[in-house]
Every structure is written in structure tokens, then in C-alpha cells.
Amino acid sequence: MGFTVTPSEIRDVVLIEHDVFPDDRGFMYELFRDDAMREALKIDAPFVQDNCSRSRRNVLRGLHYQIRQPQGKLVHVLSGRIFDVVVDLRRSSATFGRWAGRHMSAEPRQSLWVPAGFAHGFLALEDDTTIIYKVTDYWAPQFERAILWNDPELGIDWPAVAPIVSERDSAGARFRDAELFD
């Protein structure tokens, strides 16, 4: 198949470990294959957009989601390292309100599947950290929302003392006041 899928501690979020084929010239791996990913992740939605983000060390982006046109995200680190965080915003879920964090880097070659209904964010742990992520719906700024990255109710244990955060992310809603999913 080209990869192995491992469930995470949060329902429906999975880690994908890509099979890497090295030789004396370098390596090759299949980052995305539509039919295999759909089957393994049990998703019907198409991937419609690819996004790329580069950050310097200590930049924190998130926690983002779209309340309408929600996006599933397939996150992959191309260079550097991140601490990746998801928060379950689905009221009907057994893991509602829980967060999970995972250190990810360019090696080993891994991706993280974050279904629609989650807030997502990450902290760059190195300069020139680049991530790409495929999404299942288009960016719709009118529906974009942010939950405060350091909301004490969530208690996310970010591995940074004073991260670099945008104005928008600093003004995110508290979890208790956020628009959520059923």
C-alpha cells in the first residue's frame, strides 16, 4: 500500500507512516495516493486544495478551523520539526474537548490525518520548518475561526515559553465561547 496507518488517542485522527525506498541516489516515497488514502482513512470527501506553510523557530499557528465548509487536513512536514495539536470540537464525540499533541519532523516520513470537526495548530521547533497539508474543502475566510492557543480550559502543553503568535491567533475565542460542531 505504501504506508501504515496507526490510530491516535483521539478518535478518527490517525498517523500515517510512509514506506520510504532509499538507494545510493537518495530516496523516494509516495506522499499521497488518492485511492489508497480514501480507503485507509475511510473518507468520501475529495482533497481540493494543497497549502504550504514555512515558519521560523517558535512560531505558533492556530488553533484554526472552519465552522462551515469544514476541512479535513492531511498534514506532512517537509523540513524541520513541529509540535502538532488537534482539538476535538465535535459535541457528539467521546473525545469532545480533548486535545492531542504530537512531535513531527521531516524524518521519519509521516503524515497526520485530521478530520473535519477539529481545530488544528502547530508550533515550529526549528527555523525553516515547512509543512504541506491537503484539505477537503476550500479556504473560506468568512467561516474561519480560531480558538485561543493558550486557553487554560484546554491546558495544551505547548513546548515553548513565549511563542510568536499572530494578532488573529492571540484574539482567538475561548473554548467555552467557540462555535462548535454537533
Contacts 24+ apart (CB under 8 A), 169-177: 169/60, 169/61, 169/62, 169/63, 169/121, 171/146, 172/63, 172/145, 172/146, 172/147, 172/148, 173/145, 173/146, 173/147, 173/148, 174/147, 174/148, 175/87, 175/97, 175/147, 175/148, 175/151
Where is 35: in which H helix or E strand? Answer: helix 34-41
Nearest to 88 by CA among 61, 114, 68: 114
Catalytic hit among 64, 65, 76, 120: 64
Cβ(93)–Cβ(8) below 8 Å: no
Residues 6+ apart with CB under 8 A from 167: none
Catalytic hit among 29, 65, 133, 138: 133
Instruction: Count Cα neighbours of 119 within 13 Å in the Cβ-side half-sphere.
Output: 30
Is residue 103 flagged as an active site residue?
A: no
Is residue 120 flagged as an active site residue?
A: no
Q: Which residues are catalytic?
A: 64, 133
